Structures are given as C-alpha cells and as structure tokens.
C-alpha cells in the first residue's frame, strides 16, 4: 500500500531530524535543549509528538515554514520533499544555500493562493473570520524586504532553566540585508534579579527568514509566583517593517511555588498558612489547566485537605494574562462555602470562542482569603491555557514527564511534574512508580499508584521524598516511570532518572 501524503510529510520530519541529530546533537528553546516548533509556528500545538522535531528542523534551516506557519496537517509534495532533502544535504556538508529563498517565496505564494481559493468557498461565519485572521501577517503592508514578527504572543519557561530562546520570523519577503531590535522590559519580573537584560539588534542577510534571541534567567529563592517580561520588536531597518505580533510576553514559572501549579495530592505539610489544622488547607486540584477555545466552560476543582472540621470558605478569582476578560474568557470570581466534612468544590470559567487565529492564550486562577480557620496551600495559584482551535486540533492528549532527569539533595522532597499535553478533553489516568537503581529504598521513599486527571487538568506534581541515610554515597540514582495511560496517550519522556546528591 502506498503511504499517504500526510504520512510522507511526517515521515520526512523524523528522517531529517534523525540525520541532523546524529550529526550535530540538539539545540534548544530552553538553553541546552531543543527549540520547540510551538515556540516558532502558531499552528504547531505545544506537546504534540512532532513539536521538538519541527523545532529542530527549523533551527537547522531544513524546513522553515512560511508566513510563520508550518502547516503540519498538509500533505508533502515531491517538490517540497526534494527541497527539504537538499537543505539537509547542505546542512550536513556545511554548504551555503542562502540564495535558495525562492523556494520559500514560491511556497508562500502558492499557500496564499490556496487559502484565498479555500476562503472564498467557505460559508460558515467562524470559518470566514478565521480566514481573515489567518492573513494577519500578509495584510501588513510590507515590501520584498519582509516583515518581522514573533511566532506566538506568549512564551513560558520554568525559573530553573538557564534561559529561553525565542524565534523571530521574517515573513512576506526576504530580499536584502535588514535588521530589527529586540527590547526587554520587566513587568512583574525584575531586571537583574529574575532575568538578564540583553537587548540586541538582529541582522538578517539577504534570503534569511529566521533568527533566534536568548533571554538568560536567574533562579532566586523567593516564593513570588509567576512573573512576566515584556518582549518587543522595534526599529526595523533596510526597508523591512514590523508584522504581527511584534510584542510578546515571557512567563517565568516560580519553582518555589511549584511553577504556579498545584500538586497531584496536596497535603497539610505543604500549607503556608493554616491557623487551624483541623479546619484544613485549600489547594487547586492541578498544576495547570487547559481547554479548547470552543470547549465551553472550564471546570476547576478546589480541594480541602488535612482536615474538614467546621464551616470554612475560600475566595476564587481569575486574572488576565495574554487571555483577556470578555475577549477570550469571562471573569469568574466568588466564594466557595464548605460545610463541616466537605472536602471538594468546583467552579466554572466560561471560555469565549472568538474565531480568531491568535494562538493559545493564558489566564491565572487564584485562591485567597480563607475563612473559618482554614489555610492556603502554596498551590493557590495556577495558569490556565486556552487552546486556539483555529490553529490546531486538540483532543484527549498524552501523558509525559516534564524532563528526563531530575536531581535533588538528601532530606528534601523532589518535585516531579506530570504533564498532559496535546489536549485535556475527558478524564484520564496514568500509573506511576519508582524503580530502584543504585539508590534503593533506604535512599528514597518508594511511590506507586494511579494519577487521575479530570477534564481540563493539564499538569500535576508528585512529591518523592529523598532520605538522609548518613552514608557518603552521593550520585546514586533511581527511576520514575509512567505507564498504563487510560483515556489519553503516553508520550516521551515517560520515564526519568533521579539523582540523589549529598
């Protein structure tokens, strides 16, 4: 049976990434890691199985997309396949193909023609609006020198990372030598304490369509919640102009507060404010939430753990991020009242399907002002992501660990982040277990069980206690493994090596 064109397009991604990986290793969005396709292209959903592959091809200049999009669902033609292999060969041999930009320009023209024909045949209002929005970059009045834009309006990075590499796209045209400046401005993040200000001017040679810019982070020890940095493109030169979006937000997730996310199983030990332990502690049910733009209402669960004596209450509210009240969601605020013995309540956040192609949007969910002697867990603040259904389909998603290796010191509880990426539709579960290596049960508390995700829950934390054994045996390791996913898939990394440092 002949493979489908769609299968061929995905096959060439893995073929070329394998070859580039063998020859050169990896480069990354998080410094030292792979640049994700979702950080470059608006139509590559974060966490999809080809996210890293697309980013690596983009970084190597083998498959650079067009007009800020990769079109992952489109078939691959023989012509596109030939161009990708030519670029791969040049990359491996160190040859310069900077004058082959005509291939990208012809592809852009063909794409624009196909979109124009497709949009003229659409009759649904949402589709018409989407078609209009999809040409936001091409509607910019730019000459053959092109227009500069970010691939998305939001970049998220853990505080523990060394830095974040952002992709800048030169769309519409690529003629001549041009340049653009990148400016950083701290919003809630403080320059010198949370990040290093390194404004720069990027120079694009004739035919170049992409550049990257790295923002270095500083990991402090303060529990200060998520912080943001405003990133702006400005002062284009050489005849180029600014496209859209030309402003973006970098969100830094605070590791002292679990990245503004909630634990898989909150406990009274994690409480930061509990005036009466018997009354319990409030925590959000997940470390992060996600919902499709046309998903209706996001349901958020608030758990009361460590005690349930007496009548208590807690206030909840939503706060704008890149997602805006009345534009992307409807603000939710109120107070949940818990009777004696009650341990769980929910509230909903209405999501607005606006039909625009604007990429994923985020907003925050916050718990505050507990009453009746109850306390707040450190997991009282979370980030919710609205998946843009105009740029990518999302479904039940798949489970993975946030990284393939962790390290912690004896005597501390190591946080392992379990993510549900690519969609959060429906309830799903996944089995977890620790497996001894050179470290045994004397070095850590074994853990195994099933982690449950409700619809809309996108990430949870597991705490693995590392024990102090009084023996000089630093560097021992054991594994944390995910398996038996039900209601969702399982993607990599599904296992991680944990190193115990003295």
168 pLDDT exceeds 70? yes
Tell me the pLDDT tens digit for each residue of 207-225.
888 788 888 888 776 666 6
- Supply the pLDDT for residue 86: 75
- Supply the pLDDT for residue 94: 47
Q: Tell me the domain boundaries of the chain.
A: 5-100, 147-256, 261-387, 398-501
pLDDT: is 496 or 221 the higher one? Answer: 496
366 pLDDT exceeds 60? yes
Same topology, domains 147-256 and 261-387? Answer is: yes
Tell me the pLDDT tens digit for each residue of 372-395.
989 888 788 888 988 876 555 567
Percent of the chain with pLDDT over 70: 68
Tell me the pLDDT tens digit for each residue of 73-116.
777 787 777 877 776 766 555 454 544 444 444 554 454 454 44
Residue 218: both structure tokens together: 């500083």
Mean pLDDT of 11-32: 42
Calpha distance 223→405 (Å, rounded): 24
Nearest to 178 by CA among 211, 152, 151, 156: 211
Calpha distance 409→465 (Å, rounded): 10
Q: Edge to edge, what strands does the sheet with 163-171 contain?
A: 210-216, 163-171, 147-150, 241-242
Residue for token pair 């996108």? 458
Calpha distance 119→324 (Å, rounded): 28
Question: Distance between the two ends of the chain, CA-based, in angstroms?
Answer: 57
Mean pLDDT of 132-160: 67
**CA-CA-CA-CA torsion for 103, 105, 111, 114, nearest 10 degrees?**
-100
430 pLDDT exceeds 90? yes
Phi-psi region at 460: left, alpha or beta (left = phi > 0; alpha = psi -120 to 50): beta
Task: Give, in order, the Cα–Cα distances in Å from 43 to each of 10, 313, 361.
Answer: 15, 42, 13
49-52, long-range: CB < 8 A, 24+ apart: 49/398, 49/422, 49/491, 50/10, 50/13, 52/17
Neighbours of 31 (CB within 10 A): 16
Calpha distance 249→119 (Å, rounded): 31
Mean pLDDT of 329-340: 95
- Supply the pLDDT for residue 246: 87
- Supply the pLDDT for residue 105: 44
| CATH level 3 topology of 261-387 | Immunoglobulin-like (2.60.40)
Decide if 290 contacts 444 (C-beta within 8 A). Answer: no
- Supply the pLDDT for residue 47: 60
Q: What is the DSSP letter of 4?
A: P
Alpha-carbon 434 to chain mean position: 26
56 pLDDT exceeds 50? yes
8 pLDDT exceeds 90? no
Nearest to 240 by CA among 214, 206, 212, 199: 206
C-alpha gyration radius of the chain: 24
Q: Comparing 18-27, 317-326, 377-386, 411-420, which segment has the lowest mean pLDDT?
A: 18-27
Decide if 313 contacts 338 (C-beta within 8 A). Answer: yes
Mean pLDDT of 40-65: 68
Name the class of domain 147-256.
Answer: mainly beta
Percent of the chain with pLDDT over 90: 22
254 pLDDT exceeds 70? no
Q: Comparing 59-63, 364-368, 443-447, 478-482, which segment has the lowest mean pLDDT?
A: 59-63
Mean pLDDT of 253-268: 44
Alpha-carbon dihedral sign for residues 83, 84, 88, 91: positive
The pTM (predicted TM-score) of the whole model is 0.45
What is the band of 122 on the pLDDT scale with cuts at 50, 70, 90? very low
Task: Give, in order, the Cα–Cα distances in Å from 113 to each of 116, 144, 151, 256, 436.
Answer: 5, 18, 22, 50, 58
Q: Comparing 143-147, 251-255, 488-492, which segment has the lowest mean pLDDT?
A: 251-255
- Supply the pLDDT for residue 3: 43
Name the architecture of domain 398-501: Sandwich (2.60)
pLDDT: is 33 or 425 the higher one? Answer: 425
- Supply the pLDDT for residue 462: 86
């Amino acid at each position: 049976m002949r493979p489908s064109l769609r299968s061929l397009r995905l096959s060439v991604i893995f073929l070329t990434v394998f070859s580039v990986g063998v020859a050169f290793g990896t480069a990354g969005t998080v410094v030292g890691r792979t640049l994700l396709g979702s950080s470059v292209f608006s139509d590559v959903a974060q966490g999809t199985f080809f996210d890293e592959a697309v980013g690596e091809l983009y970084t190597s200049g083998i498959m650079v997309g067009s007009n800020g999009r990769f079109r992952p669902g489109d078939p691959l033609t023989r012509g596109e396949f030939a161009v990708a292999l030519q670029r791969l060969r040049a990359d491996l041999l160190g040859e310069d193909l900077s004058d082959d930009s005509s291939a990208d320009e012809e592809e852009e023209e063909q794409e624009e023609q196909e979109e124009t024909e497709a949009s003229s045949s659409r009759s649904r209002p949402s589709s018409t609006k989407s078609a209009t929005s999809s040409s936001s970059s091409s509607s910019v009045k730019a000459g053959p020198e092109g227009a500069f834009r970010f691939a998305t309006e939001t970049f998220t990075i853990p505080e523990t990372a060394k830095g974040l590499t952002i992709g800048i796209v030169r769309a519409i045209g690529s003629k001549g030598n041009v340049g653009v400046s990148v400016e950083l401005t701290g919003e809630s993040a403080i320059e010198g304490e949370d990040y290093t200000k390194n404004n720069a001017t990027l120079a694009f040679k004739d035919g170049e369509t992409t550049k990257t810019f790295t923002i270095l982070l500083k990991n402090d020890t303060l529990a200060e919640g998520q912080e943001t940095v405003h990133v702006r493109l400005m002062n284009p030169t050489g005849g180029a102009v600014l496209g859209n979006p030309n402003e973006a937000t970098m969100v830094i997730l605070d590791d002292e507060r679990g990245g503004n996310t909630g634990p898989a199983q909150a406990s009274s030990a994690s409480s930061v404010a509990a005036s009466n332990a018997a009354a319990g502690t409030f925590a959000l049910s997940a470390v992060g939430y996600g919902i499709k733009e046309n998903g209706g209402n996001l349901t958020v669960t608030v758990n009361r753990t460590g005690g349930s004596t007496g009548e208590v209450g807690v206030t909840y509210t939503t706060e704008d991020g890149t997602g805006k009240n009345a534009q992307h969601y409807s603000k939710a605020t109120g107070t949940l009242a818990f009777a004696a013995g009650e341990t769980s309540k929910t509230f909903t956040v209405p999501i607005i399907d606006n039909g625009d192609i604007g990429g994923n949007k985020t907003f925050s969910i916050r718990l505050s002002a507990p009453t009746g002697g109850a306390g707040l867990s450190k997991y009282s603040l979370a980030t919710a992501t609205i998946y843009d259904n105009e740029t990518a389909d999302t479904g039940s998603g798949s489970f993975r660990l946030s990284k393939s290796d962790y390290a912690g010191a004896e005597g501390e509880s190591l946080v392992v982040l379990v993510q549900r990426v690519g969609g959060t539709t429906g309830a799903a579960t996944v089995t977890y277990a620790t497996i001894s290596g050179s470290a045994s049960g004397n070095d850590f508390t074994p853990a195994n069980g099933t982690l449950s995700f409700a619809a809309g829950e996108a990430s949870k934390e597991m705490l693995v206690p590392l024990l102090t054994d009084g023996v000089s045996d630093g560097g021992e390791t054991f594994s944390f493994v995910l398996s038996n996913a039900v209601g969702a898939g399982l993607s990599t990394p599904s296992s991680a090596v944990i190193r115990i440092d003295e």
